[in-house]
Structures are given as C-alpha cells and as structure tokens.
C-alpha cells in the first residue's frame, strides 16, 4: 500500500459537480449529513482512499468481517446538479497526513472540474444548543453574501478562530487552486452525536444546492438523542453528578 492509495472503483462523467465533504469530527455533524445524503440520494460509490496516515487498525462490521479505515467518495447525477460526496471512517492521525489527504481530494476535485466545495462539520460550544445555528466560512469573500441569503451566519466577533482538519484545509488549499469553497459548521454541544445540528446544516445545504431531500431519518435520530438528553437532564436534577459525566461521553 502506498502512503495514500486511491482505488477508483468506477469511472463517471460528471458535469461541473459540487463536492461535499462530511468526514468525522465534532458531534459527527458533517458525517451524519454526508451519510444521510448518500442514503437518500442513493449515490454511487466510485472511489476508496486508504492511507498509512489513518489509525493502524481495522474496523469490525456487524457481520464479523473487518475493513481498513478509508475515505469513500460517492457520485450522484441529476439533470440540474451533479454531486461528489466524501464520507469516511477517520481523518488523518498525523499532521502531515492531513495536508496530503486534503491535497489528494483536491486533485480528484480538479480532475472532475468541481465547481464548488462544501465542507461540513460541527462547532462545539460546550453546552446544549438553544437555537440551531449554522456558521459559515468561505475561501472567497464574494461567497459571504450568497451564503447569508441561505441563512448562514457569519460572526465577525470570532476572528482568530480556526477550522481543523479536512473541513478547513479544503478551503485553504482549495483557494490556492482557485476552487471556491464554503465551510458550514452547525452549532453543537460537542459532547454528543448531534443529528439535530446535522438537520440544520442539511437544510442550508439543500437551499444552497436547490435540492430536496427527505429528512425523516435524521429527525428520528434526533428524537432518539432528545430522549437521551432528557434522561441526562433528569439525572442532573437528581444530583448524580458522577454518573452524568460518564453518560456524557461521545455516543455514536
């Protein structure tokens, strides 16, 4: 296996597709959105990417088989819009790998003449979110107004903040190649997998892509999480602070 190995499973012809990145991260918000889109759109798996920069382990599937950590790219075509959706098990665990893998994804974007990239993620605020909000960042100043039109918030009291991993680097490195890119971060507690935040991000994204996607599955998952959160709140009021800490661990 090479340092980064790209397995092209199927050749597809796409028309200036939009690339959407939803790799694991805070609240798994980006990954939830990407997975939901792949499922609802029935997108087709076209590329697998393996790398020594992923953790040195295999993941065990429900049927007892295992798989190497990988990033997967799916394609979806329609009359008005073509998509490349990036999903995966892991991000790089090395500093260098983050840069190298993002560059490889951009190579692929350029091969397919990608017209724009959306990177998706969560923005942890350390407490339960009262009002669902999606924060935006862009790699071309001209994109700010368009994004505001879709309901994305831009907060200028947060300069100095940073976006870590592929969601950030695809914007930064993409700019060098002249590919317009937007990062959408759903506010989230940072403690729990957050399908509600994923819904908020997906709504904005659908508006931006002029696309309709059924959200029932994300709603169901959000309701399940609501129940978990209710139980946590009850436990808090019942003054069982120690158990609460355990329960608040990162739940998939």
Give residues in contact with its own copies (CB under 8 A).
1, 52-53, 55-68, 92-96, 98-100, 103, 136-141, 144, 154, 156, 158-165, 168-169, 171-173, 175-176, 183, 252
Query: In this complex, which beta carbon is closest to its own copies, that of residue 57 or of residue 111?
Result: 57
Question: What distance in Å separates the CA atoms of residue 44 and residue 17, rounded to the nearest whole number?
Answer: 14
Contact 66, 60 (CB under 8 A): yes
Residue 181 CB, shortest distance to its own copies, in Å, is: 9
Residue 56 CB, shortest distance to its own copies, in Å, is: 3
CA dihedral 106, 112, 114, 120 (to 10 degrees): -60
Residue 72 CB, shortest distance to its own copies, in Å, is: 15
Question: What distance in Å separates the CA atoms of residue 79 and residue 157, rounded to the nearest whole number?
Answer: 41
Cα radius of gyration rounded to whole Å, the chain: 18
Query: In this complex, which beta carbon is closest to its own copies, that of residue 159 or of residue 227?
Result: 159
Query: In this complex, which beta carbon is closest to its own copies, that of residue 14 or of residue 88?
Result: 88
Contact 201, 193 (CB under 8 A): no
CA distances from 104 to 122, 169, 170 (A): 23, 11, 10
Residue 58 CB, shortest distance to its own copies, in Å, is: 4
Query: In this complex, which beta carbon is closest to its own copies, that of residue 78 or of residue 94?
Result: 94
135-157 residues labelled b (16+ CB within 10 A) or e (exposed): bbbbbbeebeeebeebebeeeee
Residue 40 CB, shortest distance to its own copies, in Å, is: 21
Residue 232 CB, shortest distance to its own copies, in Å, is: 21
Query: In this complex, which beta carbon is closest to its own copies, that of residue 14 or of residue 170?
Result: 170
Query: In this complex, which beta carbon is closest to its own copies, that of residue 57 or of residue 78?
Result: 57
Question: What distance in Å separates the CA atoms of residue 236 and residue 141, rounded to the nearest whole number?
Answer: 44
């Amino acid at each position: 296996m090479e340092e980064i190995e790209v397995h092209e499973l199927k050749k597809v012809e796409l028309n200036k597709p939009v690339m959407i990145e939803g790799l694991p991260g805070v609240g798994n918000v980006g990954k939830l959105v990407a997975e939901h889109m792949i499922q609802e759109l029935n997108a087709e798996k076209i590329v697998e990417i393996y790398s020594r920069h992923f953790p040195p382990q295999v993941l065990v599937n429900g049927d007892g088989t295992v798989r190497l950590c990988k990033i997967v790219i799916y394609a979806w075509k329609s009359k008005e819009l073509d998509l490349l959706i990036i999903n995966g098990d892991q991000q790089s665990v090395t500093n260098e790998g983050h840069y190298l893998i993002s560059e490889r994804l951009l190579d692929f974007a350029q091969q397919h003449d990608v017209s724009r990239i959306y990177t998706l993620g969560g923005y942890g605020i350390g407490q339960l979110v009262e009002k669902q909000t999606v924060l935006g960042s862009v790699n071309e100043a001209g994109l700010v107004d368009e994004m505001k039109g879709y309901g994305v918030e831009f907060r200028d009291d947060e300069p100095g903040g940073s976006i870590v991993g592929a969601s950030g680097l695809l914007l930064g490195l993409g700019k060098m190649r002249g590919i317009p890119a937007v990062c959408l971060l759903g506010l989230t507690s940072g403690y729990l997998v957050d399908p509600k935040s994923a819904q908020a991000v997906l709504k904005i994204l659908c508006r931006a892509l002029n696309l309709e996607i059924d959200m029932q599955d994300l709603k169901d998952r959000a309701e399940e999480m609501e129940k978990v959160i209710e139980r946590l709140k009850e436990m808090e009021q019942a003054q069982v602070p120690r158990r609460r800490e355990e329960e608040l661990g990162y739940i998939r």
